[in-house]
Every structure is written in structure tokens, then in C-alpha cells.
Amino acid sequence: MYFSNHSYPQFAVMDPSVMATLSDRQLGNGLVDAFVHTSEQYITYPTTALVNDGYAETLFRGLVQLANTWEDRRTKPWLENLMHIANQALNFQIGAGVPQDWSTHLIGHELTAYYNLDHARSLAVVQPYLLEVMGEEKEAKIAQLGKNVFGIQNDNAGVIKAIEEVYNKVGVPTKLSEYEIDDKVISNVQAALTKNGYTAIGENGTVTLDKVSTILTMSMK
């Protein structure tokens, strides 16, 4: 993985006709990736950043609407909106000045490296179980997401289930057991995270290797 401010794009040209050349699989991947990008900058702990929260929730609601209208995915407005939301989900705006997580991505990257899972699909088999395992620390923001995006109150388990349903609607599984994974997956991922110095990740540094093991075990059931 490579990143440098010197090579970061200064502008983006968004052409829905290019999006139209993608397969359904890649459109679904793009929607899930945008949802998780937004989540990594939002589902942490409460802040006073009203604009960041409000904008992130707008992006979430747009992605939910696109998932609910998956049958329209070949129309120009649908493609335009996915492209625009995906752009806004990772242009550093909603993450400016607020805590960020990225543990789902760090775990998912290793699943992609070892088992060639599509990037978004590696995220979808991690995030729901990570939110469950880290639910106490993330309780307030999961509840806020539920209320302001899904219309769910006092049911954080239901919010996580609603996220899974978004992914399932666009054809992206949320179980690692849906893929051909060997019995070394946990040790492989833990070893890779250790090698790369990611043994205590997340916004609070509390996603440990033991918790990674629990998350992957839950995803394989």
C-alpha cells in the first residue's frame, strides 16, 4: 500500500459512463467500500463536530437509498450518486479533526493479501463482527447511526444487522465462511498485523490481536 501527499489528486473528473462499464460485482463492491470508508471516520466515539457527523450521515443515507434501489443500478442518476458519494467518503473532509478507526481496513487488507478477496468483500466480513466486539466503546456512535440513518432506536444489534442487510442487498456476503478460507486464516492475519506493527489498532488502540481472533472466528461461524 502506497500513499503520499505529493501524489494525492488535486481534483477528480467523475464520468458515470465509465461507471457503467463496471460489473454488478464491482458496483456492489464500490457501495460497500464507500459505506465502510464513511464508517471508519464516524463510528468511533462522540465528538462536537456537528458538520462532520451530519455530512457523514448524509452519505450513509445516500448509500442506503442506493442499496434499496439496486434494481436501478444501470441508470445514470444511480451511477452518478454512487460516484459522488464514494468521492466524498474518502477525500479527507469528513475525517478532518475527528477520531478515526481504520481497524476494519487493516484486518481486511490481510484477508485480501492472503486469500485474494475483493477489497470491499474483505471489509464486509470483518466490520459487522468488529462492531459487535467493540460495541461497548462504539455504543454511542452506533446508536447515533441507528437513529439518524436507519430510524432504529435502543437496538444497537439491530443497527449492525441493518448494515449487513445493506451489503447483502448489493450481493456482498458478510460471512467469511462464504469463501474458501483455510484453517490458518487467524494465525496468518495475526502474524501479518504483528509484522506490520498493527497489534493495537482502532481509534483507542484497543483492537488487539485477541480481538482480531474473536472477530474472524465470529465471521467464520
C-alpha span between 6 and 3 (Å, rounded): 9
The beta strand positions in 64-209, using DSSP E, are: 200-201, 207-208
**Mean local confidence (pLDDT), 25-46:** 98
Residue 110 lies in a domain: yes
Average pLDDT over residues 209-214: 98
126, part of any domain: yes
Structural domain count, the chain: 1
Cβ–Cβ < 8 Å for 107, 189: yes
**pLDDT tier at 1 (50, 70, 90 boundaries)?**
low
**Residue 39 within any structural domain of the chain:** yes
Alpha helix ranges (H) inside 50-197: 50-68, 76-89, 103-115, 119-124, 127-133, 139-145, 156-169, 185-195
Q: Backbone phi, then psi, for 198, in 5-degree steps?
A: -110, 65
pLDDT bucket at 95, cuts 50 / 70 / 90: very high
Backbone phi and psi for residue 131, each to the nearest 5 degrees, phi listed first: -65, -35
Distance of CA 104 to CAs 2, 43, 51, 121, 177, Å? 18, 11, 24, 11, 17
Match 469528513 to its residue by C-alpha cell: 94
In a domain, 133, yes or no: yes
pLDDT at 148 exceeding the cut of 70: yes
Task: Give the pLDDT band of residue 3 (cuts 50, 70, 90).
Answer: confident
> Residue 50 pLDDT more than 70?
yes
Beta bridge partners of 117: none
Residue 164 lies in a domain: yes
Confidence class of residue 11 from pLDDT cuts 50, 70 and 90?
Answer: confident
Chain-centre distance for alpha carbon 168: 13
The residue-averaged pLDDT of 50-55 equals 98
216 in a structural domain: yes
10 inside domain: no
Which pLDDT value is given to residue 181?
92
- Give φ, ψ of 207 to 5 degrees: -85, 95
Q: What is the pLDDT of residue 4?
A: 83
Which structural domain, as residue segments, surrounds residue 48? Answer: 24-220
Residue 61 has pLDDT above 70, yes or no: yes
**Percent of the chain having pLDDT more than 90?**
93
- Average pLDDT of the segment spanning 59-88: 98
Position 11 in a domain = no
How does 88-98 read in b/e, with b if 16+ C-beta sit within 10 Å? Answer: bbbeeebbeeb
Identify the CATH number of the domain in which residue 147 sits.
1.20.1090.10
